[in-house]
Amino acid sequence: MQDAHDLSVLINSRIPLLVIETHDENGAMQLLQRVARDQQRTLYRWSVTDGLDTAGFGLRLEKAPEFCEPEVLLGHLKTRGQPGIYMLCDFHPWLSDQPKRIRLLKDIALSNEHGAMTLVFVSHALTLPTELSRHSARFSISLPGDGEIMALVKEEARKWSVGNQGARVKADPQALERLAQNLKGLSHAEVKRLARVAIVDDGAITEADIPEINLAKFRLMDMEGVLSYEYNTEQFAAVGGMDNLKQWLEVRRLGFGGRAEASEPTAASAPGLEPAKGVLLLGVQGAGKSLAARAVAGLWGLPLLRLDMGAVYNKYHGETERNLRDSLALADQMSPCVLWIDEIEKGLGADDSDGGLTRRVLGTLLTWMAERKSRVFLVATANDISRLAPELVRKGRFDEIFFVELPDVAVRAQIIGIHLRKRELDPAQFDIEQLATACEGFSGAEIEQAVVASLYGARAASEPLATRHIAEEISRTSPLSRVMAEKLAELRSWAAERNLLLA
């Protein structure tokens, strides 16, 4: 209702060229039909395959395939076009470096300043040339809100019931709520399609449907390459130690509104609780920062998006900033979600040799961090804090900065047990205490590799894995903490000076 009113006001303002960017062409058509009917104006539709045809209220026009060619169409509209609203579908390929077509459009715009003819460009993405921008306006179709999404899901459930002899869709209330939350940012048609995907296979909406729906939603957004959807998220049971981080996340989950028990408050039911912004995890390579980032999404039951800062950078001027803006906009649309930037210093480290590109990228990210209203929890990991700009790590950018230290003997014992169980081995059959003591200075990743390598060694010798096999691999390994002892000492000193919380 509001969209129809707003679009009607825009058309009544006599702007000759309008742009609607949307993937839901049918939805745009229905909206324009409603506006044309209310204004008692004729709506025409053009596409390169069908030519020109009447699409709504008003004088009927015989389908005119002779106008399939864009230039022929524009020439006709300039000289003999009837008053009305013209919906031009997917016109974007014919606007690039086409001076004659651009001039024809400008002629049409200049001769229709009284609003007799309105051209509406409907496309998934369209930027009008500069010559036309002053004669144009953009209109965004609003996306369905919480109530509308739930109504659309229930509508699809009713349709399934009618097609299956009145059988009722089984819905877990928490799964239904999460499904509705995770369908935010999609058009009406896309919400219905993904709700149908969740229902049709088994006539039920359960927690098992959520990851598939999140992945399908991400693919609809089409940003793979720069931003990736991480399907498998770890549980914190697979993360040794980091007790402070685990406790902090449990508390902050209440304000963020991630998956919670029915009795727990959420951001919506607890006024005054601001959604958590994010954390920066600083530590040596292999200490478990990336695993922890994955585990945040698993703990909160949220989709995990990984931003590849290397893929963001593009050789063409302006494309790098656009890639980042598009990625952050997609994260907003995927809300609620966790956005993970791994080794953030590699993409945002201080660099004065790139003509200010890194500074512009940093500025784009900082603006988004300061102004975002969506529930996107940012997890950034870094190995070298000295390469990060001071404005990124100042107080308020992240909720907290955690220093991920190398595991102590108790945590090393936990990690060894985790990796043995992961490979279906019983830790009770090994001298865990001896192994944990032997691998002092090892990171979690180095402990895992010692277990993996010992398995290969035992299999090559046709022997069952034993404590001695793992101990031998540990003795042959020179951990990073020894190779880079000075760098690690410097990192610890930096963290201690700033009283960073130990993860």
| DSSP-derived secondary structure letter, 238 | G
Q: For 47-88, what is each residue's pLDDT tens digit? A: 999 888 888 655 555 566 788 899 999 999 999 888 999 999
* Residue 16: per-residue pLDDT: 93
The answer to whether position 150 is within a domain reads yes
Q: 3-state DSSP call for residue 129?
A: coil
* Residue 353: per-residue pLDDT: 57
Q: Are residues 414 and 440 in the same domain?
A: yes
Is residue 306 within 8 A of residue 228, CB to CB? The reply is yes
- Domain extent at residue 292: 236-404
Q: Are residues 317 and 348 in the same domain?
A: yes
Q: Are residues 253 and 384 in the same domain?
A: yes
Alpha helices (runs of H) in 111-187, residue ranges in sequence order: 130-133, 146-163, 173-182
Is residue 228 within 8 A of residue 340, CB to CB? The reply is no
Per-residue burial over 208-241, b = 16 or more CB atoms within 10 Å of its CB, e = otherwise: ebbbebbebbbeebebeebbbbbeebbebebbbb
Q: Which of 191, 221, 251 is the last residue of a domain?
A: 221
Q: Are residues 254 and 381 in the same domain?
A: yes
Q: Which of 221, 254, 288 is the last residue of a domain?
A: 221
* Residue 265: per-residue pLDDT: 38
Q: For tokens 């000075």, name the residue.
A: 486
Tell me the C-alpha to C-alpha distance, in Å, between residue 192 and each of 149, 198, 282, 296: 8, 10, 42, 29
The answer to whether position 228 is within a domain reads no
Q: Which of 221, 245, 279 is the last residue of a domain?
A: 221
Q: Are residues 311 and 182 in the same domain?
A: no
The answer to whether position 20 is within a domain reads yes
* Residue 498: per-residue pLDDT: 66
HSE (CB half, 13 Å, CA atoms) of 226?
20
The answer to whether position 391 is within a domain reads yes
The answer to whether position 191 is within a domain reads yes
* Residue 8: per-residue pLDDT: 92
* Residue 352: per-residue pLDDT: 59
C-beta atoms surrounding 258 within 10 Å: 26
Q: Are residues 260 and 294 in the same domain?
A: yes
Q: Are residues 210 and 73 in the same domain?
A: no
Q: How far apart are CA 319 and CA 326, in angstroms?
A: 10
Q: How far apart are CA 472 and CA 300, in angstroms?
A: 39
Q: Are residues 186 and 259 in the same domain?
A: no
The answer to whether position 195 is within a domain reads yes
Question: What angle do the packed helices 70-80 and 99-110 form, to 10 degrees?
Answer: 20
Q: Are residues 392 and 431 in the same domain?
A: no
Is residue 77 within 8 A of residue 92, CB to CB? The reply is no
* Token representation of residue 161: 């019931």
> How many helices (H) and strands (E) would you count in the chain?
22, 15
Q: Are residues 21 and 131 in the same domain?
A: yes
The structural domain count of the chain equals: 4
The answer to whether position 254 is within a domain reads yes
Is the previous residue joined to 464 through a cis bond, with omega within 30 degrees of 0?
Answer: no
Best CA proximity match to 230, nearest among 317, 296, 162? 296
The answer to whether position 501 is within a domain reads no
* Residue 267: per-residue pLDDT: 45
Q: What is the CATH number of the domain that holds 461?
A: 1.10.8.60
Q: Are residues 214 and 270 in the same domain?
A: no
Q: What is the CATH number of the domain that holds 257?
A: 3.40.50.300
Q: Are residues 395 and 256 in the same domain?
A: yes
List the chain residues with pLDDT less than 50: 258-269
* Residue 420: per-residue pLDDT: 93
Entry pTM:
0.65
366 Cβ neighbours under 8 A, 6+ residues apart = 391, 392, 397
* Residue 318: per-residue pLDDT: 64
Q: How far apart are CA 215 and CA 65, in angstroms?
A: 40
